[in-house]
Amino acid sequence: MIEIFYKDNGQISVSQTETDFANINYNDVLWIDMYLPTGEEKRATEAFLGTTIQSRAQAEEIESSSRYSETEQAIFANTNFLIPGPEEYSMETVSFILKDNILTTLRECPLRSFTDIQRRILAFPKIYESGHIVFVSILEQRIDLDADMVELVSKEIAQYNKKLNLGEDISEDFLIDINQLQDNTMMIRENIVDKQRVISSLLKSAKYPQELLPKLNVLLKDISSLINHTNFSFERLEYLQNTVIGIINLDQNKIMKVFTLVSLMLMPPTLIASFFGMNVSFGGFFAESIWAWVVIVALMLMSFGFIYLIFKRRNMF
């Protein structure tokens, strides 16, 4: 699918077929958005722009530190867009090409930030005069969504912390949920840092319009704030994880303590019963006496009570 946004008598029109390139003035094109493009759509776009467009595999293979490059004609940038799921998040690579005043994007998944910007372009055509402005607007929208995800993670951390303070059931599932939150937080941070690299590179570029640099500086400050927030959230998760592990260890220690004390209390009675249960003749000692078992049971109870009193005085219960 391809969508071509171009200027048309003071308004913005949209074309959804690559054959319309022949009828559109090059200088009127604002944005070419390719979502799961066909081979014909991609080749027509390359011919129209006069440049090569990277495939998805090539964009994903590029190292994170080398995802921005420039040529004499164009700026190439690849960045990840985070997609939240019901349990875990996923990363999708989006390629951006800036040539002259035209922005070209290549993606393989629907993105809310793109949909919102497309609606704004059609509603307020005078604001979006070039592809550079569209690019900055996409980054602004994406960073706002990242901020919402950071806030959502913070609320989830607060909920788990509240459960812990209320003494609700702490189990392995609780630890697994915390670990999943840690993974999500790390992915959010990685996603934000990836955009920080792109914006920092744009600020150093001589090809990017100087009038848009103040907006990029504001975005960079917002990103720094989000990175600090994600770091704080990760520290809270580590503290929460350590607390849960400590509580689980305490509960296990209590159980082991009970088993140990019971074993120690039963050792003297067991010794007495074993002594008199041996297959050895004791002569006249309790021989054929009807009170023999009464005396033995009494000795066992006395030894049990004696050990119990010792443990009780030492506050071992």
3-state SS, residue 316: coil
Domain ranges of the chain: 2-249, 253-313
Q: How far is CA 181 from CA 2, 234, 246, in A?
A: 36, 9, 19
Lowest average pLDDT, out of 100-114, 194-208, 280-294, goes to 280-294
For a pLDDT cut of 90, what percent of the chain falls above it? 24
When the pLDDT of each residue in the chain is averaged and rounded to a whole number, the result is 83
Q: Residue 309 has what pLDDT?
A: 80
Confidence band of 277 (pLDDT split at 50, 70, 90): low
Q: What is the DSSP letter of 51?
A: S
Q: Residue 143 has what pLDDT?
A: 92
Segment 143-184, tens digit of pLDDT: 999 999 899 889 988 888 888 877 766 777 788 888 888 888
| Interatomic CA distance for residues 114 and 137, integer angstroms | 9
Q: Which residues of 287-305 are buried (b: 16+ CB within 10 A; e: fewer)?
A: eeeeeeeeebeebbeebbe
- Topology, domain 2-249: Beta Polymerase; domain 2 (3.30.460)
Phi-psi region of 7 (alpha: psi -120 to 50; beta: other; left: phi over 0): beta
Segment 51-83, tens digit of pLDDT: 888 766 655 555 555 678 888 888 998 888 888
Strand partners, 95: 78, 106
The amino acid at 143: I
pTM for the predicted model, two decimal places: 0.77
Q: Residue 224 has what pLDDT?
A: 92
